[in-house]
Structure 1
Amino acid sequence: MSGLTAKIVPEKSVRLLDQVKYEHLVAGTAAGVTSTLVLHPMDVVKIRLAVHDGIHNTPKYSGIWNAITTIYRTEGFRGLYQGVTPNVWGAGASWGLYFLFYNAIKASVQGGNLDTPLAPSQHLLAASEGGLITLLIVNPIWVAKTRLCLQFEQNNKQYTGTLDCLKKIYITEGIRGYYKGILPGIFGVSHGAIQFMVYEELKNRYQKYYNLPISKKLGTLEYLTFSATSKIIAVLSTYPYQVVRARLQNQHYAYEGALDCIKKTWIHESWRGFYKGMGTNLLRVTPATMITFVTYENMSHLLLKYKKEIQ
């Protein structure tokens, strides 16, 4: 029994701080920024589709293409990039910190040996812990991004930019304003945890099948396939929380809380309301994840290899 345990959880005690490597932060940040700049318009469309609840007066679109053409016609190219600055900040910070914390936690569980296999539950726990820490740090940026994406032409625009938005949220709502939607956001940590667990399991099974070390760099096709598969599974499992979070963060109307939002969504829109914008979301996040993971994997391996060579 003890021998089996040693294979899964190394007996060697390793300090978590010793496993923090800036290469994961740099690679994750670059990956998040790259994918966001390419696919931000789809994020704007997803948010606007998600917040239309049939109760409040917000623009209604018949579908993805109608949303894109309507926004472009009424608001121009800038309309499709509303909220891009906090989105770049948020995505860069989120992915950078997520990869940093996740890899540090995972490496500490592995005892510093990156070729030590972990159980799915251990990947799930490491990703959950990393995701929760990241959420607490970057949630204010996501609130600002959501509100900037929801500045419609027919309304008086409340914010001139990211810093102005963060400043006004603090003045009018205090610190609590930065953490609107935090409860569904905490639940949403499960999204990243499921994604990372599936991604790691796919990689591990592939490497085991071909008798390769777990830490060995794979090809671009493998990373694209594993990242797309893991993202689709995670989205199908957890999408409703994103709808609830976007509606709670919307500045144009208010709910009494997450439960009130869930109740009203169910009453007025049934189960379909919890999946509004999911098609758009899949069209955006699947290629975004593929870009993110391929960029991250290649850059992190390159940086770690360079660091090893100069030591």
Structure 2
Amino acid sequence: MKKKSLGESISIPDEFTEQEKRSGDWWRHLVAAGIAGAVARTCTAPFDRLKVMMQVHSLKSRRLRLIGGFEQMVKEGGIHSLWRGNGVNVFKIAPETTLKIGAYEQVKCYFLFVSGSLAGATAQTCIYPMEVLKTRMILGETGQYSGIIDCGKKLLKQEGVRTFFKGYIPNFLGILPYAGIDLAVYELLKNYWLEHYATNSVDPGIIILLGCSALSHTCGQIASFPLNLVRTRMQVQGEFFFFNGVIKIHNNEGKKGFFRGLTPNIIKVLPAVIISCAAYEKVTQHMGLI
């Protein structure tokens, strides 16, 4: 069985042996990957919510900083508000991971950047309405939405079906460099280590894999972050058209405006990767896969 990086998840299988397919172990690995991703996202959810709030609250009078942002969230809704919107983020892991791995399997005969980009784009297209729900719940006030279903019903009633696809264009354009760079850099770094530093083992070891995954994920995040920010603004502001929005951000906030919220996003990368890896290993051990 071969493994690859999937963003904040590490050591997720992308190719199964015939024995694993016959025994049914392949779906156990997918379940383990989903559980690991849920644990990692839950542990780093406060940073994810802060990132979204920093992206949206761009005016100088409302601009958030790292510590002040956490203080504001706790003051508004208590400690538990730091995890607002995490339910949607966890709920979409199963279809997102399955679609990404399935799409990667179909296009892996092409070079890494293309296969990674197509896999990511396919997964994001299918689960995009959940991204909109996550953003709205993250930015919602305490008591505004009772849950995922309530949020979806209110958006559908007040704004119509189209609201679930606001920001899709920058999201699609952003996932191409993100997924492509993430997978390509991970494989390049891992293969470079194997070629130059490995002795008799074909397994780089957990420390090397953690470093490769964290660095590749960071590169992908930085490359796609401006489009991620535009997407978030469009999800919140209905009149926010793509090209007009890009010009508006540049004129009002300058080039730095496109990277607002990047700091908490980068901070969460390493702990997310470590937690995901540890959880995946524990779950696979419990399921008798290793």
TM-score (norm 2): 0.81
1:221-270 alpha-carbon deviations (Å, 9 max, x no partner):
112111111122222222111111111111xx433411121111111101
For residues 41 and 273 of structure 2, what CA distance do their matches in structure 1 show?
10
User: Which residue in the other structure is 1:172 paired with?
Assistant: 158
CA 293–191 in structure 1, closer or farther in 2 if over 3 Å, else same: farther
1:62-82 alpha-carbon deviations (Å, 9 max, x no partner):
x11111122112310122111
Structure ID, larger Rg: 1
User: Which residue in the other structure is 1:162 paired with?
Assistant: 148
Gaps of 5+ in 2: 1-20
Query: How many residues matched?
Result: 266
CA 162–217 in structure 1, closer or farther in 2 if over 3 Å, else same: farther
User: Which residue in the other structure is 2:17 paired with?
Assistant: none
CA 103–65 in structure 1, closer or farther in 2 if over 3 Å, else same: farther
Q: Are 2:187 and 1:200 equivalent residues in the alignment? A: yes
CA 73–201 in structure 1, closer or farther in 2 if over 3 Å, else same: same
Could you say which structure has the higher strand fraction? 2
Could you tell me how far 1:274 is from its partner in structure 2?
0.3
Gaps of 5+ in 1: 1-17, 110-120
Could you tell me how far 1:134 is from its partner in structure 2?
0.4
CA 148–52 in structure 1, closer or farther in 2 if over 3 Å, else same: same
Q: Which runs of 4+ in 1 moved over 6 A?
A: 299-305
2:127 paired residue among 138, 146, 171: 138
CA 258–235 in structure 1, closer or farther in 2 if over 3 Å, else same: same
CA 221–186 in structure 1, closer or farther in 2 if over 3 Å, else same: same
- Any conservation in 2 of the 1:41–1:80 contact (CA below 8 Å)? yes
Q: Are 2:175 and 1:185 equivalent residues in the alignment? A: no
TM-score (norm 1): 0.76
Q: Sequence identity of aligned pairs in percent? A: 26
For residues 248 and 68 of structure 1, what CA distance do their matches in structure 2 show?
24
User: Which residue in the other structure is 2:35 paired with?
Assistant: 30
Partner amino acid, structure 2, of 1:37 = T
DSSP 3-state at the match of 2:268? helix
Partner amino acid, structure 1, of 2:256 = R
1:21-48 alpha-carbon deviations (Å, 9 max, x no partner):
5355323312221111101011111110
User: Which residue in the other structure is 2:11 paired with?
Assistant: none
Partner amino acid, structure 2, of 1:225 = G
- Any conservation in 2 of the 1:31–1:293 contact (CA below 8 Å)? yes
1:130-156 alpha-carbon deviations (Å, 9 max, x no partner):
111101111111110100000135xxx
